Amino acid sequence: MAAIRFTVTFLLLTLLLGVNKAKSQSFIGVNYGQVADNLPSPAATAKLLQSTSIQKVRLYGSDTAIIKALANTGIGVVIGTSNSDILALASDPSFAKNWVSTNVVAYYPSSKIILVTVGNEVIMSGDKNLITQLLPAMQNVKNALDAASLGDTVKVSTVHSMALLKQSEPPSSGSFDPSFGDVLKGLLAFNTATGSPFAINPYPYFAYRSDPRPETLAFCLFQPNSGRFDANTKIMYMNMFDAQVDAVRSALNAMGFENVEIVVAETGWPYKGDSDEVGPSVENAKAYNGNLIAHLRSMVGTPLMPGKSVDTYLFALYDEDLKPGPTSERSFGLFKSDLTVTYDIGLSKSSQTPVTPTMPKTPVTPSSQPKKADWCVPKPGPSDAQLQASLDYACGQGIDCSPIQPGGACFEPNTLAAHAAYAMNLFYQTAGRNPWNCDFSQTAMLSSNNPSYNGCTYPGGST
């Protein structure tokens, strides 16, 4: 039954990939924070962004130099008002009109401003005055955009903390804290009326930090794991990102706002931390962000929102060396101040398209060569659940698993073990042929024995 379930899922995914393959990856964005004293120039940053698949940038303010630098790049720009501007925006329509004129009208359409976020995590600030004035401020900004004939193209919203949720597990029981009910109803009615998104900041990193078990880490990093079962929907969740986003979806639905779109305004993983911090490392950050991007590109969606990728802004473009707090707070940057990558997660336009792996052109030294162990195969003894998780994970990354579908060259023998072995090896070969690409929660190993048989060819090897 497990193999049949996968077959149906994969066929649907294949259709979706075929439909969306030619479309731009407009769902991948990045946060551009500026709490730093060593940032590259806006012009250099604009050039860097154009070399990547990042098509949207979120600013926490409305920096003139950055907005200008992004002109004529085609990159969508999200700008924000500060929390300190909310009272003036709410009480004085002329202040809102001037803000829109100065920060939007002056640069649009050369700079592709797509969204104005009024404040950041205002509801969780505890400032009752700001909370009550948030909706009037958003309405005045919207009115100002309407007056400038930009209300249909530049949306208005605000960004929320996941702390708004009173309950998030299982995802189907997601609900907002009722003490914020009236405020949220007003904001969500605004989102509905104006077609603007509900922006949220899910961080699986924080979920792992509060529950630092190996199985939780695998669940957070999109790595093979036993999954978490939602008894209400009979859905097995295989990663924390989907679970968190679907918890928000459930909370919105429970309030009657099924049509409000979700945007992930921030998510990321620190690559460095203090000695007493659990979770930060280059390996974990690369796994989270790299696997998240692969998950988004697969267009598989979340269980409650299948077949589409939620707009997701990675945190962050650069480190922010002036931020207070632990080292991790200053260590989320995908790029260094010299414009090189902190770690490679396939954002470069030149590395987006999967290619048939080839042997390195530069000879590999004997010390680093994996002793001709060129195929990734399951270790003896993994359970069916582990094999199914590995199969779902590997084929969910956008690799071509059609050979193990009915009629495919590797469909027979029609066993979970055989299909999982093919998928695990193909993932290893296409993901870079690094030892960590053949881990699968320590259920796989590298082998020098070619597992190909009859007409079924396993890519790789030294033949």
Neighbour tally for 68: CB within 10 Å = 15
- Domain assignment of residue 388, yes or no: yes
346-379 b/e (C-beta count within 10 Å ≥ 16 → b): bbeeeeeeeeeeeeeeeeeeeeeeeeebbbbbbe
Stronger pLDDT, 224 or 265, i.e. the higher one: 265
Helices 181-194 and 128-147 pack at an angle, to 10 degrees, of 10
- Domain assignment of residue 7, yes or no: no
**pLDDT the model gives residue 349:** 83
**pLDDT the model gives residue 371:** 41
Pair 185, 333 in one domain: yes
Pair 206, 83 in one domain: yes
Q: Tell me the pLDDT tens digit for each residue of 71-89.
A: 999 999 999 999 999 999 9
Stronger pLDDT, 75 or 24, i.e. the higher one: 75
Pick from 183, 161, 181, 158: nearest CA to 254: 181
Per-residue pLDDT band for 353 (boundaries 50, 70, 90) equals very low
Burial class (CB in 10 A: 0-12, 13-18, 19+), 140: buried
Give the mean model confidence (pLDDT) for residues 153-170. Answer: 96
**pLDDT the model gives residue 372:** 54
Stronger pLDDT, 442 or 382, i.e. the higher one: 382
Last residue of a domain, one of 350, 385, 409: 350
Pair 264, 122 in one domain: yes
Could you tell me what percent of the chain has a pLDDT over 70? Answer: 89
CATH number of the domain at 148, please.
Answer: 3.20.20.80
Pair 198, 261 in one domain: yes
Pair 267, 179 in one domain: yes
Instruction: Evaluate if pTM is beyond 0.95.
Output: no
Pair 397, 308 in one domain: no
Q: Is 266 among the catalytic positions? A: yes
The count of residues in the chain is 463
Pair 393, 260 in one domain: no
Pair 208, 323 in one domain: yes
User: Within 221-329, where are the H helices?
Assistant: 240-254, 282-297
Neighbour tally for 190: CB within 10 Å = 19
Q: Residue 14: enclosing H or E segment and its boundaries?
A: helix 2-20
Tell me the Cα Rg of the chain: 23
Q: Pick the range with the lowest mean pLDDT from 95-99, 119-123, 183-187, 366-370.
A: 366-370
Q: Is the pLDDT of residue 4 over 90?
A: no
Q: What tokens were used for 332? A: 């989320």
Q: Is the pLDDT of residue 368 over 70?
A: no
Per-residue pLDDT band for 437 (boundaries 50, 70, 90) equals confident
- Domain assignment of residue 458, yes or no: no
Check if the beta carbon of residue 285 is closer than 8 Å to that of residue 270.
Answer: yes
Range of the domain at 108: 28-350
Per-residue pLDDT band for 25 (boundaries 50, 70, 90) equals low
Q: Phi, psi at residue 375, to the nearest 5°?
A: -125, 145
Q: How far apart are CA 369 and CA 377, in angstroms?
A: 18
Q: What tokens were used for 406? A: 């009915």
- Domain assignment of residue 100, yes or no: yes
Q: Is the pLDDT of residue 380 over 90?
A: no
Q: Pick the range with the lowest mean pLDDT from 8-12, 42-46, 200-204, 278-282.
A: 8-12
User: Within 51-203, where are the H helices?
Assistant: 64-69, 86-91, 93-100, 128-147, 181-194
Pair 247, 283 in one domain: yes
Q: Is the pLDDT of residue 449 over 90?
A: no
Q: How many domains does the structure of the chain reveal? A: 2
- Domain assignment of residue 369, yes or no: no
Q: Is the pLDDT of residue 166 over 60?
A: yes
DSSP single-letter state for residue 102: I
Q: How far apart are CA 346 and CA 294, in angstroms?
A: 9
The one catalytic residue among 169, 258, 266, 329: 266
Pair 330, 200 in one domain: yes
Q: Pick the range with the lowest mean pLDDT from 81-85, 124-128, 137-141, 319-323.
A: 124-128
Could you tell me what percent of the chain has a pLDDT over 90? Answer: 71
Per-residue pLDDT band for 180 (boundaries 50, 70, 90) equals very high
Pick from 118, 113, 233: nearest CA to 174: 233
Pair 185, 297 in one domain: yes
Q: Is the pLDDT of residue 433 over 90?
A: no
**pLDDT the model gives residue 461:** 57
Check if the beta carbon of residue 138 is closer than 8 Å to that of residue 120.
Answer: no
- Domain assignment of residue 97, yes or no: yes
Neighbour tally for 453: CB within 10 Å = 12
Per-residue pLDDT band for 351 (boundaries 50, 70, 90) equals low
Pair 324, 186 in one domain: yes
**pLDDT the model gives residue 370:** 39
- Domain assignment of residue 214, yes or no: yes
**pLDDT the model gives residue 23:** 42
- Domain assignment of residue 18, yes or no: no
**pLDDT the model gives residue 239:** 95
Give the mean model confidence (pLDDT) for residues 250-258. Answer: 98
Last residue of a domain, one of 306, 335, 350: 350
**pLDDT the model gives residue 13:** 44
CA 321 to chain centre: 23
